[in-house]
Each structure stands twice: as structure tokens, then as C-alpha cells.
Amino acid sequence: MRPNALSLVVALVVSVGVTAAAQLAEHAPGQGQGPPQGSEPGPVFRLSVSLVQVDAVVTDRKGRHVTTLGPADFQVLQDGKPQPVTAVAYVRADERYLDASGAPEPVVIPTSPRQARRVIALVVDDSRMTFESIYHTRMGLQRFVDRELQADDLVTVVTTSGTRGTSWPFTFSRPELRAAVNRLRFSLWNASAAGALEPLENIFDLLPTTAERDREQHFAVNALNRIADVIAAVRELPGRKTVLLVSEGFSISGLSDSQIRDAMYGLVDQANRAGVVIYAVDPRGLVFTGLSAADSTGSPSAMAQLMARRNDALLQTQDGLRYVAGQTGGFAVVNNNDMPGAFRRVLDDQRGYYLIGFQPSGDTFYPNRGFRRVKVKVTRRGLRVRTRAGFYGVATE
């Protein structure tokens, strides 16, 4: 992640309650083909004093998931100090269970949200999208719904321009999802619909106005709050949940502002406590930040300043996407014109994950309940691990 001016370091790590050891054993390799259809596919995430459990994805140099690691293959550092790894299990989210004859069981549409194989919230930050971004997003999500989702995936479509709430219509129905995607429209009512890279009337207007800063703050806080609403709706569902955020980004360079800072910290806190991973996709694709015939003429230094500001504006909005994704264990796809490919990459990352349980140090939760940095390392060479950045010493049980 490109570091921003404040070097943000706030995040949580997902943890479970005192039943985590039993849940790890349930998902451990060699324990059969897995639970039958309709059973809970994973733990409901909690923080507890006795055990901290982080979820992590491990890949090789080619980006392929590695699924055969054990406790000896991981090291966990809390605030730079090694902690004993008590249990490791790999949870398969894409596994199809076998019947008595060894044949794959038929996919049955669940009757309850708790029976879903995967829970995915498609959050479209349409409040500030350009016409082109809305079009590409709608086309990409249509292909995503038709070609990538499984019948037992529980999914919703949320826009940041809608009314805030916590009762989102999650559904297994593909026709309902297609209808929701098809309703995505560009709206002239969105005051910032011109996009993040077009705030200037001429090359001499190089500093953002108070109105522009207020506008950025409004749309950033609104988008973050909408994602937080969705996280609250899926908090009690089992397993690792996914928010796929499609957004032109939001600048986090102004995190000295208390509203943006509180919304950002609160979102990351809430996502990690609820076991939610955020992935971000920028629908702008490859963005040209150079000069065109439409730009005003001026001195070479002024033109250079214009290009520099445009490039900086792009990087700042992408930083916002990278931050919320990276701090929750996901990733951001930017500067990529293949939107269906970006969505497919996100879904491929949902094939499974490790649950790594470790015993925290005795002073983790008391008396200081501050931020605890957590770093997970893999002892085998050539492997990469992606997880959350840490947690606060405040138990939820």
C-alpha cells in the first residue's frame, strides 16, 4: 500500500471465542469430507481472552492457494513478540461434499442464510461515479452474477446513494440479483458525478477549495458508513464474509478530519470483529492523467503542476481503496481495464482460508486495551501470507 501522510496503522484481527479450538478441530484436514449441506461452514467471529484466531490466505509465487500447511509452518508475532501457535486448520469455501458413493452432492439452494456457502455483499459506490464507470460496473456485475456465483452463495447489491439501513435484501436468487444490477444508473443528482480527477476549471486552480474538501468528506464518510451498515447485517452469520466494493475511491489524505478518521477506524474495527474481508475494485481502469486538447494553456511549470496534481489525486483515491481492503485481509484491484477479470480474481481468493489460533500474552486485554500489532509469517520459502494487521485488546465476550 502506498503510504499516506499519516502512516495509518489501525486495524483489528478477527478472533473467536473460547470454542475456537473445537471449531478448528472440526475443520482440520483428515476429518472427513466436511459437514453436510445445511450445517454452519465456519465460526461466528468473536474476541476472547483465552485465544486469538486470525484468518489468513497463503499463496505461492504464481498466486495459487496453498492448502496443506500445519502449525509448524506458521509464526505469529504480537507486538513483535512470538506467540505459541495452538492450532491451524484450512477451511474450504469452494469444496463440494461427496455422497456415500463418492460422487459430488448436488447443489441445493439453502433455505436459511446460515446455510450459505459464501456471503457476499456487492457495494457500489455510485454516489460519485462517472457515466462510464457506472456502465462498466453494470456490465461487469452482470457477468459476475451470471457466470461466477454459485447457487448457494448468499448475495446482496447495495448502493451508497440509497437510504441508510441495516436490513439488506440478501438473496440466493439470481434473477433478483440481475434485476438489482440492472437498476444501476448514472444520476445527475450526484453532485460529484464528474469524478475525482476533474475538480479543476483551469490550471491555475491548484489548491482544493473548502467546498471541494467538504464534498470529499461527505462522500467518503457516506461510503464508509454504508459499508459499515452491511457489515452489521452479516455480523452474526458464520464463516468469513466478503464485501466487494466497487468505487472510484476516496481520499484518506484528510484523515486529520475527525469525521473521516472515525468512520475509517470504525469500519476497519467492525469488519475485523465480524469476520468480513473487504475487496475493492476501481471501475476507472487505466486512467490518463496527462494533458489533452481540452486543458487550458499556460506556462510549462503550471502545466506540470496540473499533471502532478491529477496524478496525486488518483493515487490518493486509490490509497483509500487499498487501505480498507488491506487492513481487513483483502486487496484492491486498480489500474485494470478487465473488470470481469477483477471480480473473478476476488472470487478466486474466496476458495478457502486458514484459521490460525494462538495464545495471546497475559497483558493483551488487561490493563492496557490498546492496539496489538499481529504479523503472520510462513516458514516455507516462496510463500506469501495475507491477513489482518492487528486487534484491539477489547474482548467481545
Domain 113-348 architecture: 3-Layer(aba) Sandwich (3.40)
pLDDT of residue 173: 92
Residues 102-131, mean pLDDT to the nearest whole number: 83
pLDDT of residue 176: 93
User: What are the tens digits of pLDDT across the range 218-234?
Assistant: 778 888 888 999 999 88
Q: In percent, how much of the chain has pLDDT > 70?
A: 68
Supply 55's cell numbers.
484468518
Report d(CA 96, CA 87) in Å as an integer: 24
Residues 92-105, mean pLDDT to the nearest whole number: 64
pLDDT of residue 14: 36
Helices (H), 235-338: 258-274, 300-326
Q: CATH 3.40.50 spans which residues of the chain? A: 113-348
- Mean pLDDT of the residues in the chain: 76
pLDDT of residue 192: 42
Residue 48 has pLDDT above 80, yes or no: no
Q: pLDDT tier at 18 (50, 70, 90 boundaries)? A: very low
pLDDT of residue 115: 85
Residue 373 has pLDDT above 50, yes or no: yes
Count of alpha carbons within 13 Å of 181, Cβ hemisphere only?
A: 23
What residues contact 201, with CB distance under 8 A and at least 6 apart? none
Furthest-apart CA pair in the chain: how many Å? Answer: 77
Q: pLDDT tier at 20 (50, 70, 90 boundaries)? A: very low
Strand partners, 390: 373
User: What are the tens digits of pLDDT across the range 259-301?
Assistant: 777 788 888 888 888 889 999 999 988 876 666 656 666 677 7
Q: Which residue has the higher pLDDT, 275 or 97?
A: 275
pTM score, two decimals? 0.77
Residues 64-79, mean pLDDT to the nearest whole number: 93
Residues 83-105, mean pLDDT to the nearest whole number: 75
Q: pLDDT tier at 198 (50, 70, 90 boundaries)? A: very low
Residues 349-359, mean pLDDT to the nearest whole number: 89
Q: Which residue has the higher pLDDT, 78 or 163?
A: 78
Residue with cell 495464545: 359
Residue 253 has pLDDT above 70, yes or no: no
User: What are the tens digits of pLDDT across the range 312-324?
Assistant: 777 777 888 898 8
Count of alpha carbons within 13 Å of 393, Cβ hemisphere only?
A: 16
